[in-house]
Structure 1
């Protein structure tokens, strides 16, 4: 299928052929018939992409701080690589979509229904059910394409809480502003619109508003004073975009005492206390389409807010706009200035620089071609089509795309198929790394000649995907963790035992392959006595709401991250784990706290003991990882996998690498060599399963 994508690094807009998105529970698959280009938002994105690095940094100072923090912890080179990778990631454009339901029977929508959603500009879109609304029969597709924009205007008006007869100013007469004028008139308000564009002012006048045409030098404050009968306006809705603070200052000056100002657009927010203090003005920023926006539980998980307590969610705002269109109160036909067939979408973006542009519609061909519905596309014929270690990649997130793919390629593996849920990542990273195919269909990829599956998806998918790959007679590399439950681990154990090809199973415990750890292993090999370990992982804080902290999705950070150290300690002792204990900070039923601040104690059968300090509440200036080993009156200390030091260690003082080396490349090279040459797996299976089970048991004990 085709989709409009933008390169944030250079601002280039393309119409790309990508795989159709995968069907997903709680989501609706829609075949697009019409979509609307949001002139304001999408122009802003295109302009940001075309800006240089300095301009990008100036526009996002909060991101600059994050970059500087990353430089301090990870170094300059990894930070630059992370930024470059982020900017290269294509951005799907558009959020005003109309089409016909293809799939989504579990969502309450049926095949063939006309719906509106915040889907992108693409022939097929996948949208969570709470962001989809059915279109009344008497509302045509072109009009329905304006629903999401209308919902943005409506939410701003709801925050103003207008009453009959009030006088309200709309500053900025773009699509949102012109729709807001009509909605305010429907509320029985007197409306005044302000803009620099005479044609937009004329449209606002046709919709019943008084106007201030700034291009003609008209005085907005003087007109507002007259408009409000010298009382000051009741409310100001700001739908304009500007970098300075003048628009908010102007809104405050024209407002009456205790007036309301609501910001929908993007303006400078260095507010003057005097402006607001003397009049006791209220100021509020409106969030997109309404309640539920950016709430994962509402949007992604499909949990609606109860209507008696939250009357107007973003979904219900969509429905309200559709009802107003159906009744004829809201007219958007006059807002349409351009129409383009979808195959000409790139040229539509050239129109964004035309100041007369308002409603730019993309019209999609009415067909159901195989190409549009295909979940697998060919990217290149450059990749080898056969050979050992021919890989199917599941998932193309940050770690998979920036670390795993290049490492497998460098190790001599063939990159055959990359599979992702949405299709955009498989397209982008497939092209970048010269995969043969990009797909959203895992089952179909298993039918190819590829002999190896690399799993880098969300943690809750690992076990099922691993089992599926084993049953399909593929070798498997699973980025940790292997599974989220003991039952899943045991099922994988059984599947491996009955594998017809002797499946090579590997988990991405790369730290044991680091040259630093290899050095430690050799230094310990001549000291057979029990050892004492202190491993500290200064992991850094992530929000409790992050998916990795979710027990069902990510398993928590002990299973997902601390498992590295459990495996590493098991590797260095070369002895099974005999028992463990663990305690977390705030270890009380009355304390709502994550498990990512914990101390884990391990006892090994050879008598060694170890303590893993997994802390998310430390400072970034302290090493992110520190390993200390006490043995035979000597100490080994490793900081951040860059410098290994020996204290009172006969014949050894230090070992350094020029940059941090956690063994990712060495780990993957060992696995690829195993597959190509039918060697024993780099990590013994009994250790993989032992560490997986212990990690799960430790995490469970902390809950």
Structure 2
């Protein structure tokens, strides 16, 4: 089979061995239909690939072609959404444990389902923010992840205020009547007015760039005992005096939820007890699919740019060289 890798700061298509279900009763073999490029994560890997080879991708969907003996919730021919490296990459075939996929209903567009990894990450970020009904969430950084968080928060009836330097990204949310700004001053005024001067309950930082002045600024936007949630690739450089004055909480949102990077949950496909860990990364994937099924969120603006598998290296190059400002691209498999 073919797979996409980063090697020496170039993206290549290589031939690799076809995965098999041998000795893996709790896995399914999937023929990939679509996978989603996550520019932030994957371009970072590309930049770090000097004298190294990294497999790219972590969010996809496809058709089940074979099931392990312990699989009971899907069958051959079903469509599933799946998330999480090293099981999900930009590969023609994927071998995925039962804890990392969700069945895709007939009513859900397969292209939308391919964003399931990003959807799970967005959902987990909001869970980490631990907001209650009616509270105010400020979303800073409107790449595809920030956009998804804003849309899902809006669907949950939180009071959403969003910000990005890019007016075009801001306008994408304005089309859904989500309060959003490309000016910090305008955003600050909205926070003041909509919270009666108290401040937002949480700020979710979805930007990149490691060290960012936003880690200082966001503490001015939250209420006393409010929360700053790091979602993007930012160093947690928060001044003690501002945190002390607000008794602010700093929270880190890691990937798609509990289970990520746990070999027992992922590799061995042993789920956490439902009554003790309500929302795992796999259950967050299911929740994203439910939101699509019930038309709670509209992700169609993110799936307009579709490239064939063989053309993907060129598209990565455009993203890496900043010749493309797209939020994400879908890779289509034959």
CA contact (8 A) 1:201 1:211 kept: yes
Residues 246-261 of structure 1 mapped to structure 2, 5 A cutoff:
246-261=213-228
The answer for the alignment partner of 2:120 in structure 1 is 151
- The answer for the alignment partner of 1:115 in structure 2 is 80
Report whether the alignment pairs 1:194 with 2:163. Answer: yes
Give 1:102 deviation, angstroms: 1.5
Counterparts of 2:252 and 2:304, CA distance in 1 = 29
Hey, what's the Cα distance between the residues in 2 that align with 1:140 and 1:44?
29
**Structure 2 runs not aligned, ≥5 long:** none
The Cα shift of 1:264 comes to 1.0
How far apart are the structure 2 equivalents of 1:354 and 1:241? 18
Instruction: Check whether the contact 1:162–1:187 (CA below 8 A) recurs between aligned residues.
Output: no
Q: Deviation per CA, 1:240-272, whole angstroms, max 9, x where unpaired?
A: 112214122111111000111211111122221
Q: Report the Cα offset of residue 355 of structure 1.
A: 5.1
Q: Whole-Å Cα distance in 1 between the matches of residues 104 and 164 of structure 2?
A: 32
Identify if the C-alpha distance between structure 1 residues 345 and 245 changes in structure 2 by more than 3 Å, giving closer, same or farther: closer
- Greater fraction helix: 1
| Deviation for aligned residue 1:300 | 0.9
Secondary structure, aligned partner of 1:16: strand
CA distance in 1, matches of 2:148, 2:176: 9
Contact 1:191 1:209 (8 Å CA) reproduced = yes
Quick one: distance in 2 between partners of 1:116 and 1:262?
Answer: 27
- Pairing 1:21–2:19 present: yes
Query: 1:97 maps to which residue?
Result: 60
Q: Distance in 1 between matches of 2:215 and 2:27?
A: 39
Which has the higher Rg, Structure 1 or Structure 2? 1
C-alpha distance in structure 1 between counterparts of 2:185 and 2:323, whole Å: 23
**Equivalent residue number for residue 181 of structure 1:** 150
Distance 1:157 1:313 in 2: 13
**How far does the alpha carbon of each residue in 1:628-681 deviate from its partner, in whole angstroms, 9 at most, with x for none?**
xxxxxxxxxxxxxxxxxxxxxxxxxxxxxxxxxxxxxxxxxxxxxxxxxxxxxx
The change in CA–CA distance for 1:354 and 1:150 in structure 2 (over 3 A counts) is: farther
Offset of 1:226 from its aligned partner?
A: 3.2
C-alpha distance in 2 between matches for 1:341 and 1:267 = 33
Q: Deviations over 1:563-597 (max 9, x none)?
A: xxxxxxxxxxxxxxxxxxxxxxxxxxxxxxxxxxx
Question: Quick one: distance in 2 between partners of 1:345 and 1:12?
Answer: 12
Counterpart Cα distance in 2 of 1:247 and 1:49: 29
Counterpart of 1:270? 237
Seen in structure 2, the aligned counterparts of structure 1 residues 153 and 354 have a Cα distance that, compared at 3 Å, is farther
Task: For 1:17-416, list aligned pairs within 5 A.
Answer: 17-24=15-22, 25=24, 26-49=26-49, 87-88=51-52, 90-106=53-69, 107-108=71-72, 109-118=74-83, 119-214=88-183, 218=185, 220-352=187-319, 353-354=322-323, 356-365=325-334
Instruction: State the alpha-carbon separation in 2 of the partners of residues 305 and 48 from structure 1.
Output: 34
- 2:112–2:303: 8 Å Cα contact kept in structure 1? no
- 1:164, distance to aligned residue in structure 2 (A): 2.1
The Cα of 1:288 is off from its aligned counterpart by: 0.5
After superposition, the C-alpha distances for 1:496-531 in whole angstroms (9 at most, x for unaligned) are xxxxxxxxxxxxxxxxxxxxxxxxxxxxxxxxxxxx
Shift in alpha-carbon separation, 1:134–1:147, aligned structure 2, 3 A: same
1:218 deviates by 4.6
Structure 1: where are the runs of 5+ without partners?
51-86, 366-703
C-alpha displacement at 1:223, in angstroms? 4.1
Q: Does the CA contact (< 8 Å) of 1:199 and 1:356 recur in 2?
A: no
CA distance in 1: counterparts of 2:76 and 2:128, whole angstroms: 36
Q: Deviations over 1:325-358 (max 9, x none)?
A: 0000111111224110111111121232245301
Aligned residue pairs: how many?
Answer: 324
Does the CA contact (< 8 Å) of 2:21 and 2:68 recur in 1?
Answer: no
Q: State the structure with bigger RCO (CA 8 A, min sep 6), 1 or 2.
A: 2
Other structure's SS at 1:359 match: coil
Cα offsets for 1:435-477 (capped at 9, x unmatched): xxxxxxxxxxxxxxxxxxxxxxxxxxxxxxxxxxxxxxxxxxx
Query: Which digits, 9 at most, give the CA deviation of each residue in 1:108-128, with x for residues without a partner?
Result: 332111011121111111122
Distance, in Å, in 2 between the alignment partners of 1:126 and 1:34 is: 15
Structure-2-length-normalised TM-score: 0.92
